[in-house]
Each structure stands twice: as C-alpha cells, then as structure tokens.
Amino acid sequence: MKPNPSDEARRWFLQAEDELADAKLLSREKRYYLALYLCQQSAEKALKAFLYQKGQIPTFTRSVAVLLEMSLHLDSSFSGLSAAKRLDDYYIPTRYPNGLPGGIPSRYFNDPIEAEAALKLSKKVLNLVRSKLREL
C-alpha cells in the first residue's frame, strides 16, 4: 500500500523540526560535530517531506544537493537555497574518523561560527518547506 503523501510529508517534516531543535541544543553544549550532522539531517528530511507532499518518492539519496535539485524542478523558489548544499559536507566527516584522515570528528569540528552558519542554512530550508506544505 502506497503511503498517503500528506501523511508521509508530515512525518518527515516533524522529524526534520525535531532534529533542528536537537542541533540547536547540541550547539549550545558545544557538541558541534553532532549539531552539524543534525543540520544536514534536518534539511534532508525537510526536502524529502516536500517531495513526498508533491507525490514524489525521493530517490535513495541522503544528499541535500540532490534533493534541492529535485525540489527545484517542482518549484522555482528552491533556487534561493543553493547555499544549503554545503550541509552535505557534514554528512560523513562529522561522524567517522576515516572521514577525516588523521582527525577525530568530535575534536575537529569545534567552531561555533561554523555551527551557527549550518543552523541558519538548515532553518532556511525548513522555513521554505514549511511554507510550501501550508500552501498545499
């Protein structure tokens, strides 16, 4: 049975909101590596929510860049989010030591300015998706 697009969009979007809230908490606790990862996850899931709402089943991708491109084909207002592609940089290296040869993610990602920028990008994605979900 195929899931109801609105129900599936809602599930994905609520998870995206929760992950952005968790990213903010982790950033305040100076756990930037996890905050950065959750910013990527939040944007990814918000974009998937939009795609589900539009009746699209997102491909098996975790890439914000790919999901933005898919969303842009459906709605030109996603063109203003191109900077959010940067969030893909936090998908693997923030979690795996072999993603940072010679480095340790929990020690390497220690910049509050970088975390704040990622939070802003993720929030921008969520705000646009939220507005699109309300329109439908």
Does domain 5-135 fall under CATH 1.20.120.330? My reply is: yes
- 31-58 pLDDT, tens per residue? 999 999 999 999 999 999 999 999 998 6
User: What percentage of the chain has pLDDT greater than the value 70?
Assistant: 98
Q: What is the mean pLDDT of the chain?
A: 95
Q: pTM to 2 decimals?
A: 0.95
pLDDT score, position 135: 77
Question: Is a pLDDT exceeding 90 seen at residue 9?
Answer: yes
Question: Is a pLDDT exceeding 70 seen at residue 1?
Answer: no
Q: Please, which pLDDT band fits residue 21 given cuts at 50, 70 and 90?
A: very high
Rounded Cα distance, 8 and 16, in Å: 12
Give me the mean pLDDT over the 68-92 stretch. Answer: 97
Question: Computed from CA positions of residues 59, 62, 65, 68, in that sequence, does the dihedral angle turn out positive or negative?
Answer: positive
50: amino acid identity, one letter: F
User: 30 by DSSP, 3-state: which?
Assistant: coil
pLDDT score, position 136: 61
Residue in 59, 62, 9 with CA at minimum distance from that of residue 37 = 62
Rounded Cα distance, 31 and 23, in Å: 9
Rounded Cα distance, 82 and 8, in Å: 25
| CA diameter of the chain | 48
